[in-house]
Amino acid sequence: MTKPPIGGNRTGRKLGQKVKKGKLKASSRRWLERHINDPYVQRAKLEGYRARAAFKLLEIDEKHQILKGAERILDLGAAPGSWSQIAAKVTDSSDEDIRVVGIDFLDVDPMPGVTFLKLDFLDPTAPDKLMEALGGTPDLVLSDMAAPTTGHQRTDHLRTMHLCEVAAHFAVDVLAEGGHFLAKTFQGGTERELLTMLKQNFRQVLHIKPASSRAESVEMFLLAKGFKGRKAAVSGAEEGEE
């Protein structure tokens, strides 16, 4: 069972540490203090995960069982790799039998059982390269993608929502029947057309805010469970054309 850190962090490090002013800007210092005092960050280090984001996936899976029975998984926006770590474990992926493929425009350190593609997911060649590397049909498509920030809140919001939409259409194109799609989104930001499309193609669609997602963050996760299959996708597309 995935539980939030309680009464400390089990690492021996004290919470509430301050960062010396030095040459850091006040905003940078506050971010660093929040980061080093975050019990999920410390727990990730203790348990060997590359990032605190691992607990978001674990918490969602604990309730919704999206990892159960998955044989092949795609991880979009994989860096630094904590979701791929979990995916490799649940699929028994190995270098001899790759069952997990991740993609990111950032460098990702190598990981046993995972193929990482250094490529922008919006690159037209990305879908084919992902499927070729995976060597089979995925049961789960994960997306923790977020667009690089510009500092303009509305622009940043729209760019990340676009990534979510493209990932969703990709999932419908490649998932095995009964598979699931999980993607980062923002509170109040999921477009009606996207939700309609997902509801046409999946048996259940819901928004989730895991406990390990920082309270002040506007991020949420969009989960579409139980892909109905390609026939439903084609039927839904034809209805939309009328």
User: Hey, which residues are catalytic here?
Assistant: 184
Please choose, from the candidates 96, 105, 111, 174, the residue with its C-alpha nearest in 3D space to the C-alpha of residue 141.
174
Name the residue with tokens 């939309």. 240
User: For the chain, where are the alpha helices, taking DSSP H only?
Assistant: 26-36, 39-47, 53-64, 82-91, 126-134, 153-174, 192-201, 230-241
| 203: three-class secondary structure by DSSP | strand
Name the residue with tokens 């092949």. 72
Q: CA distances (Å), 114 to each of 60, 96, 103, 173, 189, in order?
A: 22, 10, 10, 22, 32
Structure tokens at 81: 């790799």
> Hey, how many other C-beta atoms are within 10 angstroms of the C-beta on 68?
11
Q: How far apart are CA 163 and CA 76, in angstroms?
A: 10
